[in-house]
Amino acid sequence: MAAKGSSKEPKPIGEVVHFYNKIGVAIVKFNKVVPAGTKLAFKGATTDFEEVAGSMQYDHKAIDKAPKGEQVGIKVSEKVHEGDSVYLAE
């Protein structure tokens, strides 16, 4: 019997479209609504860490959830890169 979840890869819920290094903010385009406080996993060629989406902004205003299909700024503690995938962390 296969272990639970071993045959299915998780699907990304968003993608990093830009990163502001000096202020540590990732611009992420989500393909579903994501509430603030959600634990996210950032993964890419050299990126692999998890972080709770504590501070989110849309159009320079604080928001409590990221709208589907919009680009949202999220404060991150580590560097991310354009094209990195964003997943729901387990």
When pLDDT is cut at 50, 70 and 90, the band that residue 7 belongs to is low
Backbone angles phi, psi at 80, to 5 degrees: -120, 170
Whole-model pTM: value is 0.88
Q: Enumerate the β-bridge partners of residue 66.
A: 34
**Pick from 25, 89, 30, 18: which is nearest to 65 by CA?**
30
The number of beta carbons lying within 10 Å of the beta carbon of residue 60 is: 6
For 40-90, the pLDDT digits (tens) are 999 999 999 999 998 899 999 999 999 999 999 999 999 999 999 999 998
Whether the CB-CB separation of 54 and 66 falls below 8 Å is answered with no
For 8-26, the pLDDT digits (tens) are 778 999 999 999 999 999 9
Buried b (16+ CB within 10 A) or exposed e, 34-51: bebebebbbeeeebeeeb
Domain positions in the chain are 14-88
Assess if CATH 1.10.3720.10 describes domain 14-88: no
Q: Is the pLDDT of residue 38 over 80?
A: yes
Output the pLDDT for position 28: 98
